Amino acid sequence: NAGWSIDFMSDALWDGRRFRTFNVIDDFSREALAIEVDLNLPAARVIRTLERIAAWRGYPAKLRLDNGP
């Protein structure tokens, strides 16, 4: 558990509605630990997702988030 990368992405459905994804990737193995998809992703759900992964894999030494465009 050297580190995880987390990222938010968004796209649109055919009818124009936007949806978001929250992705958690293990930096060493490049394994996708979680991909959450919904029309909105509140902070409580993001925290719940990270806690669920930590209960399964343990906490990472670092957490990387790219705040780019």
Bigger pLDDT: 67 vs 63 = 63
* pTM across the whole model: 0.88
Helices (H), 1-69: 43-57
Helix (H, G, I), strand (E, B) or coil at 18: strand
Whole-number mean pLDDT of the chain? 94
pLDDT band at 69 (very low <50, low <70, confident <90, very high): low
d(CA 3, CA 26): 6
pLDDT, tens digit (0-9, with 9 covering 90-100), for 18-39: 999 999 999 999 999 999 999 9
Count: domains in the chain: 1
- Range(s) of the domain holding residue 24: 3-65
Compute the average pLDDT of residues 30-59.
96
25's CB contacts (< 8 A; 6+ apart) are 4, 5, 6, 7, 31, 32, 33
